[in-house]
């Protein structure tokens, strides 16, 4: 029997997607055992305020155009029809139902691993899925329960310290941050006058 396709799930608000996200997604698919990475656009992260968010469909549209030239990277809107705020454990159940032929794992930065114990049913997630964790400069410490865990795999991806918050703030201040975004995403934001 052929082995199942291995999919890395990279969850995010992507408000907007930037070259930090794209670099990580591409690194994961090229330098690990993953066949594809799906960038799952989250309508409402349970730990974030929704007020500063651009409409879900615009965030998805930007992820789609950013990934156009990367056949192993896909945009997913699986969370759009789900109850909000979006708890990842619920999304995983739906993904398993819809795609029994795929083998899923999660991609996250070290910053997210530091707060992973606050996620809904994180023990269940960790029992069933591997986490591919990449380095990220951040405050706080990783809980000892996650040290040397057999389902947590450190991936030595390059560190690119920029954030969507920084990009939104800079656009609002009239700064040119064009190189920090995929070119098509920059054009989309510019034409739509977003974040001004």
Ligand X SMILES: Nc1ncnc2c1ncn2[C@@H]1O[C@H](COP(=O)(O)OP(=O)(O)OP(=O)(O)O)[C@@H](O)[C@H]1O
Ligand Y SMILES: O=C(O)c1ccc[n+]([C@@H]2O[C@H](COP(=O)([O-])O)[C@@H](O)[C@H]2O)c1
Q: Residues 30 to 59: which contact ligand Y by CB under 6 A?
A: 42, 45-47
CA distance 119 to 112: 10
Q: Does 14 bind ligand X (CB under 6 A)?
A: yes
Name beta bridge partners: 152.
131
Cα 177 from chain centre: 21
The binder of 14, among ligand X, ligand Y, none, by C-beta within 5 to 8 A per type, is ligand X
Contact (Cβ atoms closer than 8 angstroms) between residue 101 and residue 4: yes
| Site membership for ligand Y, residue 12 (CB under 6 A) | yes
Residue 47 touches which of ligand Y, ligand X, none (Cβ within 5-8 Å per kind): ligand Y
The count of other CB atoms within 10 Å of the CB of residue 85 is 15
Question: Binding of ligand X at residue 76 (CB under 6 A)?
Answer: no
For ligand X, the closer of residues 78 and 100 by Cβ is 78
Alpha helix positions (H), the chain: 19-31, 56-67, 88-98, 110-114, 122-128, 164-172, 183-192
Overall size of the chain counted in residues: 196
> What distance in Å separates the CA atoms of residue 93 and residue 90, rounded to the nearest whole number?
5
Q: Which does 120 bind (CB under 5 to 8 A by kind): ligand X, ligand Y, none?
A: ligand Y
Q: Which one of 34, 88, 167, 168 is in contact with ligand Y (CB under 6 A)?
A: 88
Q: Which of ligand X, ligand Y, none interacts with 15 (beta carbon under 5 to 8 A by kind)?
A: ligand X
State which residue, 12 or 182, has the beta carbon closest to ligand X: 12
| Contacts with ligand X, residue ranges (CB under 6 A) | 12-15, 20-21, 24, 108-109, 111-112, 136, 160-165
């Amino acid at each position: 029997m052929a082995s199942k396709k291995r999919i890395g799930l990279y969850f995010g608000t992507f408000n907007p997607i930037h070259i930090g996200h794209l670099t990580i997604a591409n690194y994961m698919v090229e330098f690990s055992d993953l066949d594809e990475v799906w960038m799952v656009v989250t309508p409402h992260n349970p730990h974030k305020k929704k007020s500063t968010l651009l409409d879900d469909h615009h965030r998805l549209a930007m992820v789609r155009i950013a990934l156009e030239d990367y056949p192993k990277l896909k945009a997913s809107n699986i969370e759009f029809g789900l109850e909000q705020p979006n708890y990842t454990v619920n999304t995983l159940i739906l993904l398993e139902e819809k795609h029994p032929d795929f083998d899923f794992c999660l991609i996250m930065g070290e910053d997210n691993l530091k707060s992973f114990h606050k996620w809904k049913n994180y023990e269940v997630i960790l029992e069933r899925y591997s986490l591919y964790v990449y380095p990220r400069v951040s405050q706080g410490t990783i809980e000892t329960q996650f040290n040397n865990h057999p389902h947590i795999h450190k991936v030595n991806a390059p560190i690119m310290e920029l954030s969507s918050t920084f990009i939104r703030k800079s656009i609002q201040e009239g700064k040119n941050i064009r190189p920090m975004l995929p070119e098509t995403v920059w054009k989309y934001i510019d034409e739509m006058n977003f974040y001004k």
